[in-house]
Chain A
Amino acid sequence: MYDGGKIITGLVIGLAILLFPFFYTAGKAAKAPEPELTPKAKEAKTCIEPTKYMRAEHMKVLDQWRDEVVRVGERYYKSAHTGETYYKSLQVTCMDCHSNKSKFCDKCHDYASVDPFCWDCHIEPKESNEGTKESD
């Protein structure tokens, strides 16, 4: 092999650069977020559907709600889980219990690096707790 030394050195340097991010962040994995519940949400014990379902599918629920409310005009959601009827509104119903956006919604959204544009229009509740910071 001609210039073997140079090639191998180059390969080693290249590999080092390639793997640098892995070494740099080794052991620094961000902890899985733990969204906080407000006292009101805790008291309610359950969301409109089981927690596991809400965790995985809340975006689909909201997507469906917005179409049903705006386009079909159906504004109420009957939950088989709780047996109650809810007004389909992110801003009015969801955020009534989960009034701590920065410690509830943003926790996972930031972790998963998703940036839903709900809040461009929908108004988030004012958070009175000290030390709350807005995500953007």
Chain B
Amino acid sequence: MGVNRREFLKIAGLSTLVGLGGKTAFELLAPGALEAREAPLPEGKAWGMVVNMHKMDEALMDKCIEACHRFHNVPNIGNPKEEVKWLWKDTYPHAFPGRENEYQTEKIEKMNFLLLCNHCTNPPCVRVCPTKATFKREDGIVVMDMHRCIGCRFCMAACPYGSRSFNWGDPRKAPEALNPGFPANPEYPTRSMGVVEKCNFCAERLAKGQLPACVEAANEEAEGAMVFGDLGDPESEIREVLREHYTIRRKPELGTGPNVFYVI
């Protein structure tokens, strides 16, 4: 027998109402309400870093990397494809793509930049992590909870800065010749096979009131080569430095809000 015209219209009308009650209704009435949103940084602490490239040279950068990697027991695998890096160097065109130009000063063209996790204000890695192993702390640091990481590497795909490394093997089985005395710091854990890792802005050192290992190492040799501080406090040293110097950030156009600044 089927439905007559009147019944059909009733059903169609009801279905439309039900459909509107779903995501579409939210989008119509309150756009963006269903989208995952990052809470804005709370008042007070918002850690950031300035790298003053005028005071940096290759040797000092290596020293910083060494200090960081020794402190956090980061292994040197010896194979660039499986490299684990918290702090590393790369060239201007690689670090700041789109900003390079043919007639760059020779210094910029040849120099390496000290790169690390940017502890973004709007971190894509946090947004994609299915287990919330990566999360943003209230003080702005993007940290990893290794206990939760399942090694899916979504975060590696999401991070536009290459700040994340996957442990393809057990870091404790890294070649001994390249890692004398590994693990160097008995107070900090290593990682296990199958987790992703990255710079944590030395959260454990900050908790003790110490500066990050790289900043400490850099400032031993060149005062002010790296400045770490609270971006939320207008009177802080880092804000003072940012007021005085022209700085650039890596790929700000992506909207991630990187919190590592470079004086060039």
Residue numbers of A with Cβ under 8 A of B are: 66, 70-71, 73, 75, 89, 91-92, 117, 120-123, 125
- Whether the Cβ atoms of A73 and B137 lie closer than 8 Å is yes
The smallest beta-carbon distance between B151 and chain A, in angstroms, is 13
Contacts of B191 in A (CB 8 A): 121
Chain B residue at minimal CB-CB distance from A71: B145
The smallest beta-carbon distance between A70 and chain B, in angstroms, is 5
Contacts of A122 in B (CB 8 A): 189
CA distance A96 to B203 in the complex (A): 22
Chain A residue at minimal CB-CB distance from B204: A75
CA distance A91 to B170 in the complex (A): 19
The answer, yes or no, to whether B131 is at the interface (CB within 8 Å) is: no
CA distance A125 to B145 in the complex (A): 23
Tell me how many residues of B have a C-beta within 8 Å of chain A.
19
Contacts of B150 in A (CB 8 A): none
9 other A-B residue contacts (CB within 8 Å) besides A70-B147, A92-B187, A120-B192? A70-B143, A70-B145, A91-B186, A91-B188, A117-B192, A121-B146, A121-B190, A121-B192, A123-B186
The smallest beta-carbon distance between B218 and chain A, in angstroms, is 25
Q: Does more than half of chain B's interface fall in helix, strand or loop, or is it mixed?
A: loop
Contacts of B145 in A (CB 8 A): 70-71
Contact partner, B135, options A71, A120, A123, Cβ 8 Å:
A71
The answer, yes or no, to whether B36 is at the interface (CB within 8 Å) is: no
Chain B residue at minimal CB-CB distance from A75: B207
- Whether the Cβ atoms of B207 and A73 lie closer than 8 Å is yes
Chain A residue at minimal CB-CB distance from B138: A73
CA distance A79 to B80 in the complex (A): 47
Contact partner, A123, options B143, B147, B183, Cβ 8 Å:
B183
Chain B residue at minimal CB-CB distance from A121: B189
The smallest beta-carbon distance between A110 and chain B, in angstroms, is 21
Given the known interface contacts A70-B143, A123-B183, the answer about A91 and B135 at a Cβ–Cβ threshold of 8 Å is no
Given the known interface contacts A70-B145, A70-B147, the answer about A123 and B190 at a Cβ–Cβ threshold of 8 Å is yes
